Amino acid sequence: MTDFLHIKNIRKTFPGVVALDDVSFSVARAEIHTLLGENGAGKSTLMNVLTGLYHPDRGEISIAGERVHFTSPRDSLAYGIGMVHQHFMLVPAHSVFENILLALENVPNFFNRKKYQEKIQNLIDEFDLDLDLDTPVWKLSIGAQQWIELIKLLMRDCQLLILDEPTAVLTPQEADRLFAVLRRLKEQGKSIIFISHKMREVMEISDRVTILKKGCSLETLNRGDFDESRLASLMIGQDKIPQWQKTLQMSDQVVLDIQGLSVRNERGLSDLDNFNLSLKKGEILGIAGVAGNGQKALAEVLTGLKNTNQGRIMAGDKDITNSNARYSYIAGIAHIPEDRKTIGIAPDMSIDDNLIMKSFKSGLFRNWIFQNKRAIRRNAAEKIAQFAIKTGPDGTPVRYLSGGNIQKVIIARELSEHPAVLVALYPTRGLDIGSAEYVHKVIADGAHRGMSTILIAEDLDELLKLSDRIAVMFRGKLIGYVDPRKTTREEIGLMMSGETPGATT
């Protein structure tokens, strides 16, 4: 094995934060190398260093034996390093061909269209991808869009491909196809850096695994030397994981009943299409589905951010579809939003201020028209202790906190009023294992007290572990319910791609 990329003693600091302390690892040609680490371990900083967005304070990067300094993503591309980001960089209205062409450098003004089409078609055939060059991108599935991103890099002749949590947006079946493509790429001698925190995938595809922890590369393990528990314990280290027991909750009392709900988005397409769902008291109802199949619209309707076009929402025997009654009821629905930084917090304000965002009008936190600063501070101190939020000095703007701590702030705020219903979208996305377990525990504890939860998540393991029932969504419709103790990943996977199950509960 010859090393394609070699990284030695990389250090990168930001004012007050050491993002990368001392990272060394190497990626060989024809290798799939996984980077594993909790959030805040420095994975994304490291990728930004590799793609030339950040400049390391110290350390060496060598490519094929040559020492390099990147000053921009252009430099790293010139050396054959390409990245598939979590959010695709595609123009939806343009065709597959046009999108790929956009990514290429040095395309002459009068180019031979046929020649390029042929070249791209060859790649498509080679990897057995099901992709038509003239289809506009918006018509394609997320999985197919990801292929375009890959083809873009291959057309630029990238030797090292970095994939940042590529399976987060895929169905299990799509992920399998992606892995097949990655293996084929490996056979051709390409190097691949794979970032993921789904153990199953890491086990399946990695040749080697490097574990990052607190900005240091802890250890690199060869295939055969690691198993799931070994990796997990290395990744978490000494950190304590909260212990909790899942107890099944089943009551027959329906707290929320959604019938025939339809919501159209700005483009006139249906986010929700004749959608039905019933939520029982004290249960955790998992919602499985590939991202973008209406989960967000569902959460927004339930929390009052979106209006419905059709259908009914009943809370007990009260119709709360569009009446004003809905608003008073919504007050009892807590919401952990998908995109915590853009809608969950006021980034420039302190923790104290963020914690009262939903209850600032309550008598607890005000005297007449004035804010009761002392009560607000006391509330913050309580929540910080209770939820173990790591924070800077008093008054530190929330945006300086880590993702996990921001999530804790949001959860602390949402649960502080003992809501009847919690709608949680991807509540552990991007969190380290310790924080994620903590979030699970909080949700499970809530269920114990009779709170009903709609848990929308992308990680099947998380859904299987936490849910009392799992509902599967596809293109805005409910495909069916499954029992997490009886179902298989394959069954859910098929339902996620729209196939109606033979037998449902």
Partner 1 sequence: MKLVIERREISSALLRFSAPIASIAVALFVAGFLLLASGVSPLAAYKEIIIESLGSLYGLSETLVKTTPLIFAGLGVSLAFRMQIWNIGAEGQIYVGAMGATWVALFSGIQNHWLMMTAMFFAAFFCGGLWAGVAGFLRARWRVNEVIVTLLMNYIAILWVDYLIYGPWKDPKGFNFPLTAQFGDAARLAEYFNTRMHSGFFLALFCALLLYLFIERTVWGYEIKVIGSNQKAAQYAGMNTGIAIFFVLFLSGAIAGLAGFSEVAGLQHRLQHGLSPGYGYTAIIIAWLAKRSAIGVVIVSFLMGVLLVGGDSLQLLWQLPVAFVYAFQGLILFFLLASDFFIIYRVKRVKGIAHA
364 lines the binding site for partner 1 (CB under 8 A): no
Furthest C-alpha separation in the chain: 74
**Residue 69 sits in the site that holds partner 1 (CB under 8 A):** yes
> In terms of CB distance, is 196 or 416 closer to partner 1?
416
Pair of tokens at residue 184: 């084929």
What is the closest distance, in whole angstroms, from the C-beta atom of residue 54 to partner 1 in the complex? 8
Among 1, 2, 17, 184, binds partner 1 (CB under 8 A): 17
* Angle between helix 96-103 and 113-126 (nearest 10): 100
Binding characters for partner 1, 174-213, by CB under 8 A (x = yes): ----------------------------------------
Residue type, 406: I
Closest CA to 171 of 291, 299, 87, 83: 291
Q: How far apart are CA 214 and CA 326, in angstroms?
A: 45
Nearer to partner 1, 325 or 346 (CB): 346
Q: Does 345 bind partner 1 (CB under 8 A)?
A: yes
Rounded to whole angstroms, the Cα distance separating 8 from 2 reads 16
Residues 61, 68: Cα–Cα separation, whole Å: 6
Of 307, 309, 371, 488, the one binding partner 1 by CB under 8 A? 371
Identify the CA nearest to 343 among candidates 383, 305, 307.
Answer: 305
Give 90 or 422: the residue with its C-beta nearer to partner 1: 422
Q: Supply the minimum distance, in Å, between the C-beta of residue 337 and partner 1.
A: 6
Query: Binding residue for partner 1 (CB under 8 A) from 114, 224, 370, 449?
Result: 370
The reply on whether position 330 binds partner 1 by CB under 8 A is yes
Q: Does residue 78 bind partner 1 (CB under 8 A)?
A: yes
- Give 231 or 420: the residue with its C-beta nearer to partner 1: 420
Contacting residue, 358, 378, 448, 475, with partner 1 by CB under 8 A? 358
Q: Tell me the CA distances in angstroms from 280 to 250, 258, 276, 450, one per residue in order.
A: 8, 12, 14, 10
Residue 353 touches partner 1, criterion: CB under 8 A: yes
> Which of 55, 183, 240, 465 forms a contact with partner 1 (CB under 8 A)?
55
Among 4, 79, 438, 474, interactor with partner 1 by CB under 8 A: 79
Residues 276-305 within binding reach of partner 1 (CB under 8 A): 303-305
- How does DSSP assign 271-300, residue by residue? EEEEEEEEEETT-EEEEE--TTSSHHHHHH
CB 17 to partner 1: min, Å = 7
Contact between 112 and partner 1 per CB under 8 A = no
- What is the rounded CA–CA span in Å between residue 282 and residue 483? 16
Piece of the chain touching partner 1 by CB under 8 A; list 70-78, 161-169, 192-200, 288-296: 70-78
Q: How many CA atoms lie within 13 A of 393 on its CB side?
A: 1
Closest approach, Cβ 480 to partner 1, in A, equals: 30
Estimate the crossing angle of helix 373-386 against helix 403-415, to 10 degrees: 120
Q: Does 75 bind partner 1 (CB under 8 A)?
A: yes
Q: Can you tell me the distance from the alpha carbon of 35 to that of 220, in angstroms, rounded to the nearest whole number?
A: 9
Under 8 Å between Cβ of 306 and 292: no
**DSSP of 426-448, one letter per residue?**
STTTT--HHHHHHHHHHHHHHHH
Contact residues: partner 1, CB under 8 A = 14-17, 54-55, 68-72, 74-75, 78-79, 303-305, 330-331, 335, 337, 342-349, 353, 357-358, 360-361, 366, 369-371, 373, 400
